[in-house]
Amino acid sequence: MTPRPDPALCAALRGDLLDAGYTAAAVRELWGPLADDAIGHGLARPALAALGARTDALAVLARLLFLGVASPVAEVDAALPRTRAAGMVALGLAGLEETAVRPTATIRPQEAGTETGSVQWWIAADPDEAVVGGPLPVGHVLGVGGASLTLAGLQLARPVARVLDVGTGCGIQALHARLAAPEVVATDVSMRALEYTRLNALLNDLDGIETRHGSLFEPVAGERFDRVVSNPPFVITPRAAGVPAYEYRDGGLAGDDLVAAFVHGVGDVLAPGGTAQLLGNWEYRADADGLDRVRGWVADASAPLDAWIVEREVLDPLAYAELWVRDGGTAPGTAGYADLVGAWLDDFAARGVTAIGFGYVLLRRPAHGLPTLARYERLTRPVPEGLGIHLAAALAAHDTLAELDDERLAASVLVVAADVTEARHHLPGAEAPSVIELRQGGGFGRVVEVDPALAALVGACDGDLAVGPLVDAIADLLEVDAVALRADVLPRVRELLFTGFLAFA
């Protein structure tokens, strides 16, 4: 069933959800942490057991809208007194079966973090595989998953005028973008997805979100945006008979061509100084490293781009195939599982694919001049949520450093970031440490091994003396040449500034 967003009914539903206290925190408390974790694994039974026979509004809505369980009309009418069961049907979110309301969509509360606190939203989407109980339909509109939350946390928070959300799905990225911009354009190849986006904007009382139908940048040709965000349908899917082409994850192109097409064309819709952020997959092939292939896409882009690519994970073809076959609702041991996995493996073999990388892509069209940032790195250790602030600080540090030669950097006063600690490892009985590490509590959680000179410099960066005099004092203490030490240390100071270990005072 396709949603039918109606402003008056969405306002009524919003009021009902508010009155019922249908929030993420309330639902977690309702059924407890174990049941909440089980839901994340596709298991609803513990939550249903915790709800028992309760018929209060919060329990009815959790059962109906979160877990997708049909509920008596009388209970739904009591829990949603403004909207009632008839309103849910009119919105295209439920159907009637004799005396029961059968939900055709889930509406789940979602907390969204901001720089000043958090906001509470409700996100409608198609029922997931746990509710469906089998393979998903190809037109499935995905709700808020792990990838959605990752990209939302990566979004730069600096206010801008216009944002483009490519492949909006249920609209979660558009809603996040609206926190930073008065005008958001959300595009998708799925009309059902666009209807969900409109409904979610109305349900959360957010104006300024315009939806357009089409692929990639076709709906906005000739326009410019200050920011582009995308959780695109990047999943590499075989173009073979019997393999479902899910709209929410398959862009219809072979291999990793969709991500390549995005990188190639995004510069045309970016205003000078504008940034683009997306998640993506890229293939490792027998003759090409995955990150090198991404580097080639950036080099061939339609406009010069700064690039910061972070690879978070690499899977072998079998693991990748099994991941996405299961994601579509086909479980190991069930009919068709082996054939689907085999189709993926055949597709990878045809292109000589040896592994598949996943990561974050941050691109920027320089405000003037040529690109100055080309960073391609692999960071696989777990990181905290909400990296947007860290990414923005790194870009600002990069831009400052690009204007500083070594003489001006040496004249700068620096401070150690508050989340940085130092660890020293000694061999038994040794007076001097064999390893000195700087550890970052925030950001990407980097661990950097440093020598005594750099460790001493970082320890002395307290906002008082400039870098140059500190290096000279350390050189005197270590009895080494000051000029040589500056030449050795300053490039590493630049790296520590970009990565957030140090900051300009």
Per-residue pLDDT tens over the stretch 408-464: 999 999 999 999 999 999 899 888 888 999 999 999 999 999 999 999 999 999 999
190 and 247 Cβ atoms separated by less than 8 Å: yes
Architecture in CATH for domain 143-314+357-371: 3-Layer(aba) Sandwich (3.40)
Q: What digits encode the pLDDT tens for the residues 116-172?
A: 678 899 999 999 877 777 777 888 898 998 888 899 999 998 999 999 999 999 999
For residue 289, is pLDDT > 80? yes
114 pLDDT band, cuts 50/70/90, is low
Q: What is the pLDDT of residues 312-358, one digit of tens each?
A: 999 999 999 999 898 887 888 888 899 999 999 999 999 999 999 99
Let me know: does 261 contact 211? Beta carbons within 8 Å: no
Burial class of residue 186, CB neighbours in 10 A (0-12, 13-18, 19+) = buried
* Pure H helices in 275-336: 290-299, 317-327
Q: CA 193, CA 126: separation in Å to the nearest integer?
A: 9
How, if at all, do strands 462-466 and 413-416 pair? antiparallel
CA neighbor of 254 nearest in space, from 353, 401, 388, 398: 353
Q: What is the pTM of this model?
A: 0.92
3-state secondary structure of 317: helix
* Average pLDDT estimate for 372-399: 92
Average pLDDT over the chain, rounded to an integer: 93
Residue type, 155: Q
- Domain boundaries in the chain? 7-104, 143-314+357-371, 401-504
- Residue 418, CA distances (Å) to 187, 210, 388, 414 in order: 40, 41, 18, 12
pLDDT of 116 reads 64
Alpha-carbon span 271 to 261, nearest angstrom: 19
